[in-house]
Amino acid sequence: MTVVHPPSSAVPGLLAGADPPFLSCLAWDAGAPWLLAAAGEAPKPFLGFLDPGRLWLLLLLAIVCAGVVACIGLARSGRPMKVRRMPALDAVDEAVGRATEMGRSVLFVPGLMDMNDIETIAGLTVLGRVSRTVAEYDAQVEVPTARSLVMTAARETVEAAYLAAGRSDSFNPDLIYYVTDEQFGYVAYLTGMMSRQKPAACFYLGKFFAESLILAETGNAIGAIQIAGTAEVSQLPFFVAACDYTLIGEEFFAASAYLSGEPDQLGSLKGQDVGKLFAASILVVGTALVTVGSILGPESAPAKAAAYLVGEILR
Amino acid sequence: MRRTIPLFITTAAGVVLVVAYFVPWMSALGETVSTWFNILAAIAFILGGGNLMKMNLRKISDRVPGWGYSVVTLVAFVVTLAVGLAKVGVNPLPEYPSYAWSGEFNEQGSAFWWIYEYTWKPLTATMFAMLAFYVASAAFRAFRAKNIEATLLLGTAFLILLGRTYAGVWLTSWLPEDSPLRIELLSEFVMETFTTTGTRAIMIGVALGVVATSLRILLGVDRSHLGSGRN
C-alpha cells in the first residue's frame, strides 16, 4: 500500500487540524484498508464500509435514482407522462419509409465500443425500435459492427424486433455482421459500402470518435437521410453539421424510452427531469455562494461554503 | 428463460460494479466482473473472425459486386493472423534461446511488426488524414450565412480559427498585450466561457441520461436490447 503524506487522494476536509482531528492521514489503494492516524501518531489500518471520498456522490446518485424510481411508480399508477417531441425520433418512420419506397436498405452503425459501454447499449435499445419499424415496413436493416459481442447482441435485438412485428421469416442474421475492431478499418469498410450500396437511411447511434464526420459526410454525399446520436461531446458538432437530425447527449439516452411509448419508460424520463431540477438548484446555490463570497471575502461563510461545494460535494 | 437469464446476469454484474465503486472491500469483486467481460470479449473475437471469413467467402463465391475487396480482406486477415500466431521472424528471448517461439510476436523486425509499421500504420494515417477534407466540406455547408443564427456561428467560428493561428495574433498585435480585444484572447474567452458552459450543460444531461438508462436496464424496465418486453 502506498502511504502518501500529505495524501494526494485524501479528503481535504479531513486532514490534520480539521474536524474530526483523528483523520490526519488518509491513503487509498484499491481494495486495501485506509490508513488513519491522529496527528503525530503511527497510521492504523482501517477498512471503512463506504469510501468516505465518494459519500457525496453516493448521496447525489441516490437522489437521482430515487427520482427516477418514483416517477416510474407514478407512471405505473396511471399518471400521464408528457414528454416533449423529439424531431429526430419522429423522423425514424420517415427515414425507414423512404428506404422502403426507394427499395434500398437502412444502415445502422452502433459505434466503435463494446457492450460494456452504456452508449453502445443505448444504441442497441434504439436499434430494437428501428428494426421493428423496418420489419413492419418490410425493409432491410444492415448492421456492420466493430465488436463481436455487439454483433451477437445486435442479432438478438433485431431478431426479437422482427418476432415482435410478426415478421420472423424476414429476419436475415447475415445482415448483422462483424467487420473489424480497428477504428479506421471499420470506417474504410463503412464508407466503401455506403458509396457502393447507397443506403437510403443511415443511423449512427453509439459511441463515436474521429470517424463521426467521415461517416456523416459520406452519408450526406450519397443523399441518405441521416439520424445520429451520441454522448461524445466532441463529436456532436460534426453530426449536427452533417446529419439531418441529431440526438444530443441526454436525448440519445431518452430515445429508446421515447420510441417505446411505454409509461414505465416515459416515467424514467420524467425522473431525469427531477435530477435536472436538482442540478439546476445546485448551480443557482453555488453561483449565489460564489458571488456573495467574492464580495464578502475568502474567509466569509459563503466563500467557505462555495469552496466546500466545489471541493467536496462536486469533486 | 432466454431473456430472464441474460437480464439476471446484467443486473447482477451492474449492481456489483456500482456497489464496488462505493464499497472498498468489494472492489476486488468488481474487478472480477470486469475480467469476466474481457474473457467473454476475447472468446467472442473468435466468433467475429469466423463471421468475417464466412461473409467474405460468401461474397467471393456469389461474385457479388465488389467481391475483389473481399479477397483483399481475407488475404490480409489470414496472412496477419498466420504471421502473428507463427511469430514469423521473431528471435527467441535471451533467457530461452532454445525455444524458437519465446520472443514477442510484435518484436521489431518481425513479419508482424513489418505489417503493422508499413501497412497498417500508413493506411490508418491515410484515413485519418482524409478527415481534413471532410471537415472542409462540412464547414463549407455549416457556415453558410443563411440566417442570423448561421451568421453568428460563422462569425464565432472565424474568430476561433483566427485566434488559433498566428494570423490572429499578428492582426491585433498593435493592441496592448492584456487587451481583451486581442483576437487570441477573444478566442480564449469564447472557448472558456460560452463553449465550456454549453459543454457542461450537455455533460450534466448525459450524466443524468446514463443514470436513468442504467436504472432502466438494471431494473429490467427497458429490455429492448434483449427483445421486446411485450412478447
Of the partner residues B131, B217, B228, the one whose CB lies closest to the CB of residue A213: B131
Residue B125 contacts by C-beta under 8 Å, 6 or more apart in sequence?
Answer: none
On chain A, the residues whose CB falls within 8 A of the CB of B74 are none
Q: Which pLDDT belongs to residue A26?
A: 45
Q: Which pLDDT belongs to residue B4?
A: 85
Spatial separation of the C-alpha atoms in residues A113 and A177, rounded to whole Å: 15
Residues A65/A54, Cβ–Cβ less than 8 Å:
no
Q: Beta partners for A246?
A: A228
Q: Which pLDDT belongs to residue B185?
A: 94
Cell of B167: 494570423
Q: Which pLDDT belongs to residue A45?
A: 58
Comparing A313 with B229, the larger pLDDT belongs to: A313
Q: Tell me the Cα Rg of chain A.
A: 25
Interface contact flag, B209 A65, Cβ < 8 Å: no
Q: Which pLDDT belongs to residue A5?
A: 38
Is residue A11 predicted with pLDDT exceeding 70?
no
A18 — contact with chain B (CB < 8 Å)?
A: no
Is residue A44 predicted with pLDDT exceeding 80?
no
Q: Which pLDDT belongs to residue B6?
A: 84
Interface contact flag, A50 B209, Cβ < 8 Å: no
Predicted confidence band of residue A1 (pLDDT cuts 50, 70, 90): very low
CB atoms within 10 A of CB B97: 10
On chain B, the residues whose CB falls within 8 A of the CB of A51 are 21-24
- Return the closest-CA partner of residue A259 out of A136, A85, A117, A137: A85
Residues A254/A269, Cβ–Cβ less than 8 Å:
yes
Give tens-digit pLDDT for A249-280: 999 999 988 988 888 889 999 988 889 999 99
Q: What is the mean pLDDT of residues A169-186?
A: 95
Q: What is the mean pLDDT of residues A160-165?
A: 92
DSSP code at position B165: S
Of the partner residues B25, B137, B202, the one whose CB lies closest to the CB of residue A217: B137
Q: Which pLDDT belongs to residue A296?
A: 95
> What angle do helix axes B196-218 and A55-76 make, rounded to 10 degrees?
60
Q: Which pLDDT belongs to residue B99?
A: 87
Spatial separation of the C-alpha atoms in residues A279 and A64, rounded to whole Å: 10
On chain A, the residues whose CB falls within 8 A of the CB of B21 are 51, 54
A29 — contact with chain B (CB < 8 Å)?
A: no
Residue of B nearest to A197 (CA): B65
Q: Which pLDDT belongs to residue A103?
A: 95
Interface contact flag, B52 A179, Cβ < 8 Å: yes
Which residues 164-223 in chain A show a CB within 8 A of chain B? 164, 174, 177-185, 187-188, 192, 196, 210, 213-214, 216-217, 220
Q: Which pLDDT belongs to residue B143?
A: 84
The number of CA neighbours under 13 Å toward the Cβ of B113 is 13
Interface contact flag, B23 A51, Cβ < 8 Å: yes
Of the partner residues A31, A61, A159, the one whose CB lies closest to the CB of residue B28: A31
Interface contact flag, B228 A163, Cβ < 8 Å: yes
3-state secondary structure at position A115: coil
Spatial separation of the C-alpha atoms in residues B24 and B31, rounded to whole Å: 12
Residue B89 contacts by C-beta under 8 Å, 6 or more apart in sequence?
Answer: B107, B109, B110, B111, B112, B113, B114
Q: Which pLDDT belongs to residue A77?
A: 92
A66 — contact with chain B (CB < 8 Å)?
A: no
Give tens-digit pLDDT for A55-74: 999 999 999 999 999 999 99
Comparing B75 with A12, the larger pLDDT belongs to: B75
Of the partner residues A160, A210, A265, the one whose CB lies closest to the CB of residue B228: A160
Is residue B110 predicted with pLDDT exceeding 60?
yes
Interface contact flag, B216 A192, Cβ < 8 Å: no
On chain A, the residues whose CB falls within 8 A of the CB of B224 are 124-125, 128-129, 157, 160-161, 256, 260
Give tens-digit pLDDT for B134-189: 999 998 888 888 889 889 989 999 999 999 899 989 999 999 988 999 999 999 99
Residue B226 contacts by C-beta under 8 Å, 6 or more apart in sequence?
Answer: A156, A157, A160, B3, B6, B7
Q: Which pLDDT belongs to residue A31?
A: 47
Cis peptide before B180 (omega within 30 of 0): no
- φ, ψ of residue A269 to 5 degrees: the values are -65, -40
Spatial separation of the C-alpha atoms in residues B98 and B77, rounded to whole Å: 30
What whole-number percentage of chain A has pLDDT above 90? 70
Is residue A22 predicted with pLDDT exceeding 70?
no
Is residue B204 predicted with pLDDT exceeding 50?
yes
Q: Which pLDDT belongs to residue B16?
A: 93
- Return the closest-CA partner of residue A251 out of A103, A91, A121, A89: A89
Q: What is the mean pLDDT of residues B84-97?
A: 92
Q: What is the mean pLDDT of residues A234-250?
A: 94
Interface contact flag, A233 B206, Cβ < 8 Å: yes
Spatial separation of the C-alpha atoms in residues A206 and A190, rounded to whole Å: 15
Interface contact flag, A149 B40, Cβ < 8 Å: yes
Predicted confidence band of residue A18 (pLDDT cuts 50, 70, 90): very low
Q: What is the mean pLDDT of residues A174-178?
A: 96
How many contacts, defined by CB atoms under 8 Å, are there between A and B? 222
Mutate to test the interface with A, among B23, B26, B211 (most CBs of A within 10 A): B211
Residue A22 contacts by C-beta under 8 Å, 6 or more apart in sequence?
Answer: A36, A37, A38
The pTM score is 0.87
Q: How many helices and strands (H and E) does chain A possess? A: 10, 8
The β-bridge relationship of strands A201-207 and A225-230 is parallel
Which residues 274-293 in chain A show a CB within 8 A of chain B? 275-276, 279
Q: Which pLDDT belongs to residue A37?
A: 58
Chain-wide mean pLDDT for chain A?
A: 86
Give tens-digit pLDDT for A93-140: 999 999 999 999 999 999 999 999 999 999 999 999 899 999 999 999
Comparing B224 with B22, the larger pLDDT belongs to: B22
Q: Which pLDDT belongs to residue A136?
A: 95
C-alpha distance from B93 to closest chain A C-alpha (Å):
29
Give tens-digit pLDDT for B78-90: 999 999 999 999 9
Which of A37-41, A73-77, B7-11, B18-22 has the lowest average pLDDT? A37-41
Predicted confidence band of residue A13 (pLDDT cuts 50, 70, 90): very low
Mutate to test the interface with B, among A46, A116, A205 (most CBs of B within 10 A): A116
